[in-house]
Structure formats: structure tokens, C-alpha cells
Amino acid sequence: MTSRRQFLSSIAVACAGTAVARPGLAALAGGHVLTATDVHVKDYPTVTAVQWMGETLAAETDGRVQIRLYHSGQLGRESDAIDMARFGAIDLTRVYSGALNNAFPLTEALCLPYVFDSVAHLRRALDGDVGAAVLDGFAARDLVGLAIYDSGARCFYNTRRPLHVPADLQGLKLRVPASDIFMQLLRDLGANPTPLGFGAVFSALETRLIDGAENNIHSYHSSRHFEIAPYWSQTEHSYAPDVLLMSRRSFDELRPDDRERVRDVARRSVQVMRAEWDASEARAREAVLAGGARLNAVDLPAFRKAAAPLLREYLQKPQLAALHRRIRDLA
């Protein structure tokens, strides 16, 4: 039997040719249906934002441009989605920026530890020239950066104990995205980093393949990880956001006015996502507490000190150093 990943890979190979029909950008009475993916569940704020995009595009184009959204990882992992979008097998995908670091170096500036002081600080950067520079960087590899969705503070959670200082992470096996930054940060903090796809984390926690992970409180709740890993420690080590990407091939096949409309609606969807995020984040925190999670504060100066060598190393890169200065000027 063919696996889902094999099936998706076969589509990508087929899409490299020009004579084979693609599942993405389907023709619709002179218009297009854009296929979009997200690994998050139906009611997650990024999913809600892309659903809003689809409704708005359909309304503003009299149905000429629509979006068919597959949430909850129905079309594979984020790493699969990136490649599928580059090939044009899918049209839109929402991807966590940490999963983009190795292929798109400018995204590293958004993922480095303790670069942002708060959600407000992050949003100021994303709404200005820092966000624009990161989005422009995707053009180098057949993608169009449409929008950046912030996703709160990332913190550690695990099955074994509260974390108060970096030494408490010693020996813990923690899931990280496939990003050199996050793997090095975990090693510097004394933990054992384990790169896994987001969808594999629940079973890895359940089988004790890993001791914990790091993410925002909303994902901690929606993924039900709190049911297995009840110790949440408020490290706020990263505010790494999400990015909405579009296939360059699909984008170029749209009418010029529809390309600009897609860009405009994507920009407007950021405020939709933020409103939903802000309203639901507190609910997520209340829900995990009600479900037995134990939240604790940490020694933030100690964590910042432990992460400082990694930050200094990455800021040796001139492009990252320049973006970092612009981010810190907005603090």
C-alpha cells in the first residue's frame, strides 16, 4: 500500500513536468481553487485566518478565486508542505519559522533566543521592514512570502519535573523542530534535542521516546500534550512566528489583479489571526490548568545568560546582525 508521504512525493515529481495536471490551483470556470495546508487543528488561529482569506477572496472575486483548506496535517508534515509548495503541488501553506531556518537563513533572526521582549515587540518588528525583509527572502527558492502570523512565547514542557534554572534541563530528551538554532539551544541548556515533526510529538510523549518539548501555550493545549506532559515552565525562550507561503508557480498563474488581491487579503488576515489568538490564548491557559498542568515561573536572567553564546555566534553573520539591530531598536 502506498503511504501518504509516497503519494505526496509522487505528486511533486509529477508536478515538475508541464503536461501533468496538478491537485493545486484547480481550474474553476475561468478562476482558481487554491489548495492550502496547515498541521494545526480546525479552530487554531492560523487555520481560522486562512479560512477567512478563502471567504474574503471568494466574496471579492465573485467566486473566481477560492481556497480549499486541509487542516490537522491531512496533507502531511510541514517539511512535506514546504517542498510541495515549491513544486507547485499545493498552493498555500502555513509553516512554523523554525522549520524554515536551514533553507531560508533570514528566518533565523525571528527564531534566535531572547531577541524579542514581548508579543507587542514582535508585532512591531513583523509589521515593519524586518517582516518585509524576511518575506522577500522566500523569492530565492520559488516561494512567495505572503504574511507572518505571530504565535506567542515558546516555553518548555515535560513529563518529569518543573524547570526553574537551565540546570534543571540536564539530561531531558526534548523535541525540537528541525532547526540548528533550536537543537544548539537545547544542547547549550544541557538537554538532548530530538527533532520530530509536530504531529509525531503526542505519541513520542506517550511512549516516552521523549521527555518533553517546547511550544506556545495554544499548541500545548490544542495538541493535548498537557495530558501527558503536565510540567510547563515559562521560559519564553523564543517568539518564533509562523509564515504563510505560496507557491511561486501558482502565484504566477493568477491574473495580475488577483495576485495583488491575494497579497492584500493575506496582509489583512494577520489582524484576523491576532484577534483570534489574543482571545483564545487565555482560554488555552485556563484549559490546561483545569486539565492538571502545573505552570511555573523560571529564572529568566539565568536562561538569557545560558543562551547568550548561541546568540553571539549567530550574530557573526552580517545579515542577521543587521536584522537583529533593527529588531532591538524597536524594543
> All domains of the chain, ordered by start, with CATH?
4-104+117-150+241-281 (3.40.190.170), 154-239+283-329 (3.40.190.170)
DSSP 117: S
Torsion (CA) 172, 173, 178, 184 in degrees, nearest 10: 40
With beta carbons less than 8 A apart as the criterion, state whether 37 and 250 touch: no
Residue 229 has pLDDT above 90, yes or no: yes
Residue 259 has pLDDT above 80, yes or no: yes
In angstroms, the CA 48 to CA 43 distance is 6
Q: Among 103, 41, 37, which Cα is nearest to 70's?
A: 37
Confidence at residue 178, expressed as pLDDT on a 0 to 100 scale: 84
The pLDDT-based confidence of 16 (bands split at 50, 70, 90) is: very low
- The tally of CA atoms less than 13 A away on the side-chain side of residue 58 is 12
Residue 321 has pLDDT above 90, yes or no: yes
Percent of the chain with pLDDT over 70: 91
With beta carbons less than 8 A apart as the criterion, state whether 217 and 223 touch: no
Confidence at residue 165, expressed as pLDDT on a 0 to 100 scale: 98
Q: What is the pTM of this model?
A: 0.87
Name the average pLDDT for the chain.
91
The pLDDT-based confidence of 11 (bands split at 50, 70, 90) is: very low
44: amino acid identity, one letter: Y
Q: Which residues contact 161 (CB under 8 A, 6 or more apart)?
A: 168, 231
In angstroms, the CA 119 to CA 231 distance is 23
Confidence at residue 24, expressed as pLDDT on a 0 to 100 scale: 46
H helix count then E strand count, the chain: 13, 12
Among 102-106, 258-262, 304-308, whose mean pLDDT is lowest?
102-106
Write the CA distances from 150 to 104, 222, 252, 285, 304, integer angstroms.
18, 17, 27, 17, 21
Confidence at residue 22, expressed as pLDDT on a 0 to 100 scale: 46
Confidence at residue 204, expressed as pLDDT on a 0 to 100 scale: 97
Find the mean pLDDT for residues 114-140: 96
Confidence at residue 102, expressed as pLDDT on a 0 to 100 scale: 87
In angstroms, the CA 84 to CA 95 distance is 12
Q: What is the pLDDT of residues 246-257, one digit of tens each?
A: 999 999 999 999
135: amino acid identity, one letter: L
242: amino acid identity, one letter: D
- The tally of CA atoms less than 13 A away on the side-chain side of residue 279 is 10
Nearest-5° Cα angle at 268, 265 to 271:
150
Strand partners, 31: 28
